[in-house]
Amino acid sequence: MSAPVVVAGASLGGLRAAEQLRAAGWDGPVTVIGEEPYMPYNRPPLSKEVLAGKASFDSLAFRPRAAVADVEWRLGTRVVRADLDRRTVGLADGTTLPYAGLVVATGMRPRRLPCPGPAAGRHTVRTLDDARALREALTGPGVRVVVVGAGFIGCEVAATAVTLGAAEVTVVDPLPLPMTGPLGDLLAQALRDRHEQRGVRFALGTGVTAFHGDDRVTGVELSDGTVLPADVVVESVGSVANTEWLDGNGLDLTDGVLTDEHLRVGGRPDVVAVGDIARFPNARYDGVPRRVEHWSIPTDTAKHAARVLAAHLNGTEPGLDPFAPLPTFWSDQHDFRLQSFGAPALGKDDVRVLEGDPDGDVLAGYHADGRLVGVVALGGAAAAAAAARHRAALLKQPALTA
Amino acid sequence: MKVVVDMNKCQDHGQCVFAAPDVFSFDDAGHLAYVPDPDEALRDEVEEAADVCPLQAIRIED
Ligand code: SF4
The CATH number assigned to the domain with range A5-109+240-314 reads 3.50.50.60
Between A296, A382, A384, which is nearest B52 by CB? A296
Residue A42, chain B, CB below 8 Å: the answer is yes
Q: Is A294 on the interface with B (CB under 8 A)?
A: no
Q: How confident is the model at residue B62 (pLDDT cuts 50, 70, 90)?
A: confident
- Note whether A153 and A111 are within 8 A (CB): no
CA dist A193 and A334 (Å) reads 12
How remote is the CA of residue A336 from the centroid of ligand 1, in Å?
Answer: 17
Spell out the domains of chain B, with CATH numbers in brackets.
2-61 (3.30.70.20)
Report the gap between the CA of A335 and the closest CA in chain B (Å).
12
CB A344 within 8 A of CB A363: no
SS3 A138: helix
Say whether residue A195 is in contact with chain B using an 8 A CB cutoff. no
**Residue-level pLDDT at B14:** 87
* Burial (Cβ within 10 Å: 0-12, 13-18, ≥19) of residue A319: exposed
Query: Percent of chain A beyond pLDDT 90?
Result: 88
Q: Give the CA angle between residues A332, A343, A269 to the nearest 5°.
A: 105
Nearest ligand 1 atom to alpha carbon B15: 1
Q: Are A310 and A7 in contact (CB under 8 A)?
A: no
Angle at B34 between CA B30 and CA B35, to 5 degrees: 155
User: Is domain A112-236 classified as CATH 3.40.190.10?
Assistant: no
| Residue A353 β-bridge partners | A364
Q: For residue A18, how many other CB atoms are within 10 A of its CB?
A: 29
The residues facing A259 across adjacent strands are A265
Say whether pLDDT at B4 is over 70.
Answer: yes
Across the range A270-295, mean pLDDT stands at 95
- Give me the residue spans of the domains in chain A: 5-109+240-314, 112-236, 335-396
Rounded distance, CA A131 to CA A42, Å? 12
Alpha carbon distance A293, A108 (integer Å)? 9
Over residues A203-210, the mean pLDDT reads 97
* A:B CB pairs within 8 Å: 29
How far apart are the CA of B52 and the nearest CA of chain A, in angstroms?
A: 7
**pLDDT tens column, A13-67:** 999 999 999 999 999 999 999 999 999 999 999 998 889 988 887 889 998 998 9
Half-sphere exposure of A56 (CA within 13 A, CB side): 3
Does B20 contact ligand 1 (Cβ within 6 A)? no
Give the residue whose CA is nearest to atom 8 of ligand 1.
B10
CA distance A53 to chain B (A): 14
Q: Residue A374 pairs with which residues in a beta bridge?
A: A342, A366
- Residue whose C-alpha is closest to residue A313's, from A10, A65, A99: A99
Model confidence at A378, pLDDT cuts 50, 70, 90, reads very high
> Are the beta carbons of A342 and A327 closer than 8 angstroms?
yes
- B9 or A79, which is more confident? A79
Q: What is the pLDDT of residue A398?
A: 60
Q: Please give the distance, rounded to the nearest whole angstrom, from the Cα atom of residue A384 to the centre of ligand 1.
A: 13
- Best residue for ligand 1 mutational test, from B24, B35, B46, B53 (most atoms within 8 Å of Cβ): B53
Task: State whether A381 and B13 contact (CB < 8 Å).
Answer: no
- Partnered with residue A102 across adjacent β-strands are A6, A271
- A289-290, strands of its sheet edge to edge: A257-258, A278-281, A289-290
* N-term to C-term CA, chain B: 6
Q: Tell me the per-residue pLDDT of A100-149, one tens digit each, with 9 for 90 and over.
A: 999 999 999 999 999 999 999 999 999 999 999 999 999 988 999 999 99
Give B31's pLDDT tier (boundaries 50, 70, 90).
confident
User: Does the structure show a pLDDT above 70 at A337?
Assistant: yes
pLDDT at A306: 98
Residue B41 distance to chain A (closest CA, Å): 16
The answer to whether B6 contacts chain A (CB < 8 Å) is: no
Judge whether A5-109+240-314 and A112-236 match in fold.
yes
Angle, helices A128-138/A152-163, rounded to nearest 10 degrees: 40
Q: What is the pTM of this model?
A: 0.94
Q: What is the mean pLDDT of residues A316-321?
A: 92
In 3D space, the residue among A22, A31, A28 whose CA is nearest the CA of residue A103 turns out to be A31
Give the pLDDT band of residue A402 (cuts 50, 70, 90): very low
Q: Which atom of ligand 1 is nearest to the CA of B32?
A: 5
Contacts of residue B12 in chain A, CB cutoff 8 Å? 381, 384
Instruction: Bin A401: left if φ > 0, else alpha if -120 < ψ < 50, else beta.
Output: beta
Q: Is the pLDDT of residue A399 over 70?
A: no
- What pLDDT score does A1 carry? 62
Pairing assessment for the beta strands A72-75 and A5-8 based on DSSP bridges: unpaired
Write the pLDDT tens digit of every residue in A160-201. 999 999 999 999 999 999 999 999 999 999 999 999 999 999
Q: Chain B partners of A275 at a C-beta cutoff of 8 Å?
A: none
Instruction: Report the residue of chain A nearest B26, measured CA to CA.
Output: A385
Q: How many CB atoms lie within 10 A of CB A105?
A: 32
Buried b (16+ CB within 10 A) or exposed e, A149-185: bbbbbbbbbbbbbbbbebebbbbbbeeebbbbebbbe
- C-alpha A59, offset from chain centre: 20
**Dist. CA B27 → ligand 1 center (Å):** 13
Span A62-101, pLDDT tens digits: 989 989 999 999 999 999 999 999 999 999 999 999 999 9
For residue range A355-375, what is the model confidence (pLDDT) as tens digits?
A: 999 999 999 999 999 999 999
Distance CA A224, CA A211 (A): 14
pLDDT at res. A132: 92
Mean pLDDT, chain A, whole residue set: 94
